[in-house]
Amino acid sequence: MSAHRMLGSPAVRIALPVATIALAAAACGSSSGSKTTPAAATGSAASGSSVTLDMKSGAAGAYLTDGSGKSLYEFASDTAMKSTCTGACVSAWPPLTSSSAAMSGTGVNAGDIGTLTRSDGSRQVTYKGHPLYYFSGDTAAGQTNGQGSTAFGAKWWLLSPAGAPITSSSSSSQGYAY
């Protein structure tokens, strides 16, 4: 039997899509841990999952991170419960979003965590009314490369567990300009 004729058989036409789906599902995998790490490209938690806010101490003092230790920032241009980072800004400063309630971790008050609805309909996590963001220049836990940046017309600051912007310009390496 020719290869072309075998690939056209009903059994192969069914088996190939089933195998493709099984491989894709296996690649997704899952973790038994209680904390979900937001995707770096979008800043979003996996669909249907929650994010955890934690506290980390570094050169700038105690500041908020996600459950995997990635730094979280506030944008001085934002107003209470309103994000002003849109368009190109979102590529450099992905918002921390979650489809469910965010959880509090070490050093974080659960009552200070909230969400707002962004213009695209996604739910952005807030802390004491400050919308939270990642910085695309932070590629590993504990980096604070965005601290003090003036990208997109206002300052970007780490946020303390008390909910106050940390306005010292200490960072884990040189800051980025956009």
pLDDT digits (tens, 9 = 90+) for 141-162: 999 999 999 999 999 999 999 9
Does residue 151 sit in helix, strand or coil? helix
The single residue listed with the structure tokens 């004729």 is 5
Q: What whole-number distance in Å separates Cα of residue 149 and Cα of residue 76?
A: 10
Say what the pLDDT of residue 171 is. Answer: 52
Say what the pLDDT of residue 79 is. Answer: 87
pLDDT lower than 70: segments of the chain:
1-49, 170-178
Q: What whole-number distance in Å separates Cα of residue 158 and Cα of residue 72?
A: 6
Say what the pLDDT of residue 122 is. Answer: 95
Say what the pLDDT of residue 80 is. Answer: 78
Say what the pLDDT of residue 13 is. Answer: 38
Say what the pLDDT of residue 91 is. Answer: 97
Say what the pLDDT of residue 15 is. Answer: 37
Main-chain dihedrals φ then ψ at residue 88, nearest 5 degrees? -60, -30
